[in-house]
Chain A
Amino acid sequence: DSGVTQTPKHLITATGQRVTLRCSPRSGDLSVYWYQQSLDQGLQFLIQYYNGEERAKGNILERFSAQQFPDLHSELNLSSLELGDSALYFCASSGFSSGESSYNEQFFGPGTRLTVL
C-alpha cells in the first residue's frame, strides 16, 4: 500500500459527460501528479500541483483540468468526454517538505479506470 488513495476505482460514463476523479496523497506529501495510462500511449504525465499551485504541465487536454485543495487532496476534472479518454488515471504524490530537492520518488495510487461508452 503506497498510502495514496484514489476514488472511485471504476467509472463508466457516456460520451459528452463530465466526471471528477479524486486523489488523497500520502501523509505529508505536498506534490500531487496526475497520469493517464492507455494501451497505446503508455503512462503519460498530465499535470503536477505543489502545495496548491500548478507546478508543471504535460500533455493535458484543454477539456481536462485539475486542482489541489488546502488539505492537499486533488481532483482531476474531465469534461466533454470522448471514447478515446477511456484509460486508467493514476495519481501520484511525493514529498518536497525537506527542501528544494527534486529527487523525490513518486508513489502511485491504485488508479481509477474510466470507461467512456
Chain B
Amino acid sequence: EDQVTQSPEALRLQEGESSSLNCSYTVSGLRGLFWYRQDPGKGPEFLFTLYSAGEEKEKERLKATLTKKESFLHITAPKPEDSATYLCAVQGNDYKLSFGAGTTVTVRA
C-alpha cells in the first residue's frame, strides 16, 4: 500500500523566514507526486506535479523538489498569505492518489 508521511505537522514562521516541508513516500511505481495547498474549509488547490527524481518546479515563493524517497517544498521569504495546510500526494501504478496528513504553516507578520 502506498504511504505518504509529511513533517513537521505544524510550522510557525516569521514573515521572511524561509523553511522547508518534507514529504516521504513509498509507492509502487511512482506516476507522479503532487503538492496541494488547502485553506480551512476549502478544497485543495493544485500547486505542482513532479514525475521523476531530480525534477524541480517553482511558483512564486514556493519550490518543490523530488528524490527517489522524498519531496521537499521550500518556502522562500514567506508572507502571511502563505499560511495554509500543504498536502503531498503520490500516484502509483493503481492510479490512486494517496495523501499525507499535511503540514500546517502559519506565517506571522
Do A and B pair up? The answer is: yes
Nearest-CB residue, chain B, relative to A107:
B46
With A42-B100, A103-B31, A103-B32 known as contacts, the answer to whether A48 contacts B45 (CB < 8 A) is: no
Q: Which of B36, B43, B89, B99 contacts A110 (CB 8 A)?
A: B43
Q: Which of B27-78 contact A (CB under 8 A)?
A: 31-32, 34, 36, 41-46, 49, 51
Within 8 A of A (CB), among B94-109: 94-102
B44 in contact with A102 (CB, 8 Å): no
B21 at the interface (CB under 8 A from A): no
- Chain A interface: which size bin? 20 to 34
Main DSSP-derived SS at the A contact region: strand
Contacts between the two chains (Cβ within 8 Å), count: 57
CB proximity of A2 to chain B, nearest CB, Å: 7
CB contact between B101 and one of A42, A102, A109 (< 8 Å): that residue: A42
User: Do the beta carbons of A48 and B49 come within 8 Å of each other?
Assistant: no
Number of B interface residues, CB 8 Å?
A: 24
Q: Is A18 an interface residue (CB 8 A)?
A: no
B44: chain A residues within 8 A (beta carbon): 43, 90, 108
Instruction: Give the residue of A43, A48, A55, A107 whose beta carbon is less than 8 angstroms from that of B99.
Output: A43
Interchain residue pairs with CB less than 8 A apart (5): A2-B45, A43-B99, A90-B43, A103-B32, A108-B36
Q: Which residues of B contact A (CB under 8 A)?
A: 31-32, 34, 36, 41-46, 49, 51, 87, 89, 91, 94-102
Q: Which 9 A-B pairs have the closest CB atoms?
A: A108-B43, A43-B99, A42-B101, A108-B44, A105-B46, A103-B32, A102-B31, A110-B43, A111-B43
Name 14 extra pairs, CB < 8 A, besides A42-B101, A58-B96, A108-B45.
A2-B43, A2-B45, A2-B46, A4-B43, A42-B99, A42-B100, A43-B99, A45-B98, A90-B44, A92-B43, A103-B51, A106-B97, A110-B43, A113-B41
